[in-house]
Amino acid sequence: MNRTADEAFLAVLDGEAAVGLDDVVAGAYRAEATRRATVLGRTATALPEPDPPGPNWTFRSASTEREYAVVERSSDPTPAARAVADERRTVAVRHRVTRRWGRDGTVRETTAVRTTRYRVRVVVDVRYDPAGLPGPGRPTDPVFVRGGAVDGPNLADVPREARGTLLSDGGADRAALAAVRGGGGVEQRTVAGTPPEELRDWIQADLAGLRDRVRDVSVAVPRDAVAAGTANAPARLAATLRDRRAALVDAPAAYDGAADRARVAARAAYLDAVIATLTARADAAGRRNDAYRDRVGGLRSAADGGLDDLARIAARGTAPEPSPVGEWHAGEVTFTPRTTPGYLPVAAVDATHVDSVEPGTSGHPLVARNTNLFALPTGDAADTVTDAVLPTRRTASLARAGRVLVAGDDATGSRAATEGTAPPCDAASPRRSRRSRPARRRCSSRRRPSHGGSASRPSIGPRHGGPLPAVGSVRR
């Protein structure tokens, strides 16, 4: 919006817009002066009856001539509201009647005169007339007196100009005579007031502030609309400005004189210039969008489904190639054990259960070692101590148990390699009742060494493996 706002601003100031600053000032300092002549009354003398020139004369025809003249003049020093002049005139009309008589082929004429006097009022009033200016129509006060927003002339010179235009050189007499003759008793003239010298700078400063606000107006254009050829940012901006036009014009309830009316009209003219520019660009964008959609539609129609084939080929061509196990980009692959059943047994397992166990041999996935914590058979006391030390939850998920095995494998493998063999595992002792058992078991994972004497990674999983159960447990 930045460039559009600046261009419209310059266009209004330079007079290149539909309504420029000069048009605004001229319209704001314009008034309409009207002169009205009204016949208030009349008096007339009687016309003498026809009088033949002698006996036996026969009336043949008659004609009348009228003469108009202003015979009295006066002025009302206190004209009514809005009136700038109130003149009174008396117009006398002299009617001369000529009658024709005939006798024995001879024609004679007789004349008669009567006079009618008309009282005529001639009034000149002025009305503020900013018609055609953009912006809302609101009352303007004061007018025709000095003051207003910039304390300028404010059309104070218009009454004098109106009187000089409509009443000079016998204008009141002409108006009175025209009214008596039955002609047009109303005459209008446009009178221009003189604007103050600082008016243009004042309006330009106000427009600059409005321009800065308009420059910040923005709209969002969806990316899918751009790709589809339906995006039209200028149209959206123009619609936004139309919706906000009244708020941006910010017209008061009543204008503070002609200068304030000019300021608001300039704001409205500027917004109209911005909207007009955006509308023109929106039309151009619409034509480009139409051409774009037509072109894309033609290409897709010509391809006859080839675009879909190209998409599938591109997808296959960009799919990653499989890499050998243990050589993926992130480094060595670490396996997580899957087990069936869903817990680690302390009993021996053979090759029928675990593929990594050599045929004919067996191994223990989990071994238990008994450690005496209490020598006396005081089961309740032992339970009290261990319950206070150990956590309430004595189970672990199978996934966590598996991670412990893997971590343990990494830790114990290096030790076994140093010692040459794994530490012995204690046999699992039978589980006694909670009340009578004298000791607790502490479980640790053990790993069966390979035949070469070095530690090997445990590979615990069923021969016919199924899905891993959600939770397994290692009992204490």
Count, in order, helices (H) and strands (E) of the chain. 11, 9
Note the pLDDT tens digit of each residue in 120-170: 999 999 999 998 899 999 999 999 999 999 999 999 999 999 999 999 889
User: Do residues 39 and 107 both lie within one domain?
Assistant: yes
Note the pLDDT tens digit of each residue in 303-332: 655 656 666 666 665 555 655 554 545 555
Is residue 473 predicted with pLDDT exceeding 60? no
Is residue 258 predicted with pLDDT exceeding 60? yes
In a domain, 290, yes or no: yes
Mean pLDDT of the region 355-380: 65
- Single residue among 192, 216, 246 that ends a domain in this structure: 192
Mean pLDDT of the region 254-281: 97
How far apart, in whole angstroms, are the C-alpha atoms of residue 460 and residue 441? 23
Backbone angles phi, psi at 249, to 5 degrees: -65, -40
- Single residue among 192, 208, 240 that ends a domain in this structure: 192
User: Do residues 109 and 171 both lie within one domain?
Assistant: yes
- Single residue among 192, 215, 249 that ends a domain in this structure: 192
Per-residue model confidence (pLDDT) at position 374: 45
- Contact between 344 and 446 (Cβ < 8 Å): no
Two tokens at 370? Answer: 């008994």
Number of independent structural domains in the chain: 3
Per-residue model confidence (pLDDT) at position 9: 96
Q: What is the extent of the structural domain holding 52?
A: 30-192
Per-residue model confidence (pLDDT) at position 78: 77
User: Do residues 220 and 125 both lie within one domain?
Assistant: no
Pairing of strands 362-363, 440-444: unpaired
Confidence of residue 377 (pLDDT cuts 50, 70, 90): very low
Beta bridge partners of 368: 443
In a domain, 474, yes or no: yes
Per-residue model confidence (pLDDT) at position 434: 38
Percent of the chain whose predicted confidence (pLDDT) is above 70: 67
Task: Please tell me which residue, 224 or 458, carries the higher pLDDT value.
Answer: 224
Closest CA to 155 of 166, 138, 140, 167: 140
**Looking at the whole model, is its pTM more than 0.75?**
no
How far apart, in whole angstroms, are the C-alpha atoms of residue 12 and residue 18? 8
- Contact between 30 and 158 (Cβ < 8 Å): no
- Contact between 351 and 457 (Cβ < 8 Å): no
Per-residue model confidence (pLDDT) at position 365: 73
Mean pLDDT of the region 373-398: 54
In 122-155, which positions are buried (b, 16+ CB within 10 angstroms) versus exposed (e)? bbbbbebebeebbbeeeebeebbeebbbbebbbb
Mean pLDDT of the chain, nearest integer: 78
Per-residue model confidence (pLDDT) at position 435: 38
Per-residue model confidence (pLDDT) at position 49: 87
Per-residue model confidence (pLDDT) at position 316: 65
Note the pLDDT tens digit of each residue in 435-465: 334 433 333 334 444 343 333 334 334 333 3
Per-residue model confidence (pLDDT) at position 450: 39
- Contact between 462 and 333 (Cβ < 8 Å): no
User: Do residues 45 and 172 both lie within one domain?
Assistant: yes
In a domain, 181, yes or no: yes
Note the pLDDT tens digit of each residue in 225-254: 888 889 999 999 999 999 999 999 999 999
Weakest-pLDDT range from 101-115, 168-182, 419-433: 419-433
Is residue 406 predicted with pLDDT exceeding 50? yes
Per-residue model confidence (pLDDT) at position 416: 46
Closest CA to 234 of 1, 17, 12: 1
For the chain, how long is the longest CA-to-CA vector?
A: 182
- Contact between 422 and 445 (Cβ < 8 Å): no
User: Do residues 34 and 137 both lie within one domain?
Assistant: yes
Per-residue model confidence (pLDDT) at position 321: 60
Per-residue model confidence (pLDDT) at position 476: 35
Pairing of strands 440-444, 367-371: antiparallel
In a domain, 269, yes or no: yes
User: Do residues 363 and 464 both lie within one domain?
Assistant: yes
User: Do residues 48 and 187 both lie within one domain?
Assistant: yes
User: Do residues 46 and 152 both lie within one domain?
Assistant: yes
User: Do residues 48 and 112 both lie within one domain?
Assistant: yes
User: Do residues 248 and 105 both lie within one domain?
Assistant: no
Two tokens at 166? Answer: 């409509």
Per-residue model confidence (pLDDT) at position 348: 81
